[in-house]
Amino acid sequence: MAKKVKTRSFEEAVAWLRDHGFDVLEAPGASGRVFLKKYHCSAAIERADDGSVKIFAYPGYLINGEISKLVDHGYQKVLQTSKAVRPATADHLKALHDFSEELKEGTGGISLYNEGLGTVSETYMYDRVRDRDLPQGERPQRPWKQPPTVKRPA
User: Which strand (E) or helix (H) includes residue 47?
Assistant: strand 41-47
Higher pLDDT, 99 or 73: 99
pLDDT on residue 86: 92
Q: In 3D, which of 113, 91, 99, 109 has the Cα closest to residue 55?
A: 109
* Whether residue 2 has pLDDT greater than 60: no
Please answer whether residues 9 and 52 qualify as being in contact, where contact means their C-beta atoms are separated by less than 8 angstroms: yes
* Angle at CA of residue 144, ends 139 and 148, nearest 5°: 115
Sign of CA dihedral 134, 136, 139, 143: positive
pLDDT on residue 87: 92
78-120 pLDDT tens trace: 898 889 899 999 899 889 988 888 888 888 777 765 555 556 6
Cα first-last separation, the chain = 75
SS3 62: strand
Residue ranges covered by each domain of the chain: 10-126
Give the chain's largest Cα–Cα span.
82
What letter represents residue 27's amino acid? A
CA 108 from chain center: how many Å?
Answer: 17
